[in-house]
């Protein structure tokens, strides 16, 4: 036991440069790869859900050279967002849930800095890091190492997309309680393992961190269900309804996506109504309006 505590203590002291040693990341999607054994082309970007660089050339980045800020912003009591304003990748933000049973990071930034590590550590011990799907893997190995070896929960169905396996990886599927009050659930859709995380909320009304398994629209009242967001490939109406109904097993008043979008009231009903709208349009029900 003493050896485990000592190992964790050493890991918790890692700075950003040490944590990113041996890592390269795709400059387009920001996902980490083993610097000694990386592919010629990022398979995540070559997939139809993402995109290769416009010049057709694969670009790689050294994450230790990131010099931009990562800002930790409180969204509501017990929920923080980590936002970067520049750098590689697609610009996702991570969320940190703070509870008396330990903290959980949902989604992973494509950057890491000493100041961001310090800010996250100050919130309390990290019990789990949960990327919702491969686009959100980011620098998950580095963040795990910097936060004391926090286990990284990777959807089993999407594990083949890993370019670098974290030292502490937990392959999972279905639905699991991460810590009391926080449950992870795989709903599929965007990727077979696409997940959401439900939190009871500091006020007890429920919060869903939906990633882009279910993506908030700019109006703040409706949501989207897509196989590819940048390439505008929709899911079928049947799958949208399946995903929405699976999410609706949970009670939640608010929903936060992974690109700063949110639905801040009546979010559960908004998910169901949006899925019904999606299904109606994809079925041709409203073709008379086109």
Locate 276 and state its tokens.
């019904």
Per-residue pLDDT band for 5 (boundaries 50, 70, 90) equals: very low
pLDDT score recorded for residue 240: 98
Per-residue pLDDT band for 86 (boundaries 50, 70, 90) equals: confident
Bridge partners of 179, per DSSP, are 182
pLDDT score recorded for residue 2: 32
Per-residue pLDDT band for 8 (boundaries 50, 70, 90) equals: very low
- Tell me the C-alpha distance between 85 and 257, whole Å: 17
Task: State the pTM of this model.
Answer: 0.94
Cα torsion angle, 167, 173, 178, 183, sign: positive
| 92-141 pLDDT, tens digit each | 999 999 999 999 999 999 999 999 999 999 999 999 999 999 999 999 99
pLDDT score recorded for residue 54: 85
What mean pLDDT do residues 193-217 have?
Answer: 97
pLDDT score recorded for residue 13: 63
Per-residue pLDDT band for 10 (boundaries 50, 70, 90) equals: very low
pLDDT score recorded for residue 114: 96
- Please, are residues 196 and 213 in contact by the beta-carbon 8 Å criterion? yes
- Tell me the C-alpha distance between 117 and 289, whole Å: 51
What ranges do the domains of the chain cover?
Answer: 2-62+70-165+173-285
Cα torsion angle, 239, 245, 249, 251, sign: positive
Cα torsion angle, 73, 76, 81, 85, sign: negative
| Residue of 101, 110, 151, 99 lying closest to 128 (CA atoms) | 151
A 10 A CB-CB count for 193 gives 24
What mean pLDDT do residues 188-211 have?
Answer: 98
Is residue 262 predicted with pLDDT exceeding 90?
A: yes
Average pLDDT, whole number, for the chain? 94
pLDDT score recorded for residue 173: 97
Q: Please compute Rg for the chain using Cα positions.
A: 19
Percent of the chain residues topping a pLDDT of 70 = 95
A 10 A CB-CB count for 190 gives 26
Is residue 274 predicted with pLDDT exceeding 50?
A: yes
Least confidently predicted of 16-20, 68-72, 195-199, 209-213: 68-72
- Tell me the C-alpha distance between 7 and 14, whole Å: 11
Is residue 211 predicted with pLDDT exceeding 90?
A: yes
pLDDT score recorded for residue 7: 46
Burial class (CB in 10 A: 0-12, 13-18, 19+), 122: exposed
Q: What is the 3-state secondary structure (H, E, C) of the chain?
A: CHHHHHHHHHHHCCCHHHHCCCEEEECCCCCEEECCCCCCCCHHHHCCCCCCCCCCCCCEECHHHCCCCEEEEEEECCEEEEEECCCCCCCCCEEEECCCCCEEEECCCCCCCHHHHHHHHHCCCEEEEECCCHHHCCCHHHHHHHCCCCCEEEEHHHHHHCCCCCCCEEEECCEEEEECCEEEEECCCCCCCCEEEEECCCCCCCEEEEECCCEECCCCCCEECEEECCCCEECCHHHHHHHHHHHCCCCCCEEEECCCCEECCCHHHHHHHHHHHHHHHHCCCCHHHC
Per-residue pLDDT band for 12 (boundaries 50, 70, 90) equals: low
Per-residue pLDDT band for 67 (boundaries 50, 70, 90) equals: confident
Locate 160 and state its tokens.
């083949």
pLDDT score recorded for residue 116: 96
pLDDT score recorded for residue 166: 96
Is residue 221 predicted with pLDDT exceeding 70?
A: yes
Domain spanning 2-62+70-165+173-285 has what CATH number? 3.60.15.10
Least confidently predicted of 7-21, 66-80, 227-241: 7-21
């Amino acid at each position: 036991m003493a050896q485990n505590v000592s190992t964790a203590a050493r890991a918790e002291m890692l700075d950003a440069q040490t944590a990113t040693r041996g890592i390269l990341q795709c400059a387009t999607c920001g996902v980490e790869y083993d610097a000694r054994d990386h592919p010629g082309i990022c398979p995540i970007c070559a997939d139809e859900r993402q995109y290769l660089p416009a010049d057709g050339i694969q670009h790689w980045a050294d994450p230790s050279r990131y010099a931009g800020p990562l800002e930790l912003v409180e969204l509501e009591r017990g929920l923080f967002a980590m936002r970067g304003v520049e750098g590689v990748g697609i610009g996702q933000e991570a969320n940190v849930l703070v509870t008396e049973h330990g903290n959980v990071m949902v989604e992973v930034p494509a950057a890491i800095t000493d100041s961001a590590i310090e800010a996250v550590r100050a919130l309390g011990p990290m019990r789990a890091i949960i990327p919702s799907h491969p686009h959100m893997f980011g620098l998950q190995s580095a963040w795990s190492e910097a936060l004391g070896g926090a286990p990284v929960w990777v959807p089993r169905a999407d594990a083949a997309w890993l370019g670098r396996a974290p030292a502490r990886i937990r392959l999972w599927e279905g639905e699991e309680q991460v810590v009391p009050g926080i449950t992870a659930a795989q709903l599929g859709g965007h990727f077979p393992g696409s997940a959401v995380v439900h939190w009871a909320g500091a006020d007890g009304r429920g919060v869903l961190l939906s990633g882009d398994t279910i993506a908030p629209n700019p109006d703040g009242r409706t949501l989207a269900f897509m196989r590819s967001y940048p390439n505008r490939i929709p899911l079928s109406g049947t799958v949208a309804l399946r995903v929405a109904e699976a999410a609706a097993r949970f009670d939640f008043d608010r929903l936060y996506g992974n690109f700063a979008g949110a639905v801040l009231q009546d979010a559960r009903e908004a998910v169901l109504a949006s899925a019904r709208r999606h299904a109606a349009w994809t079925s041709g029900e409203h073709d008379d309006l086109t």
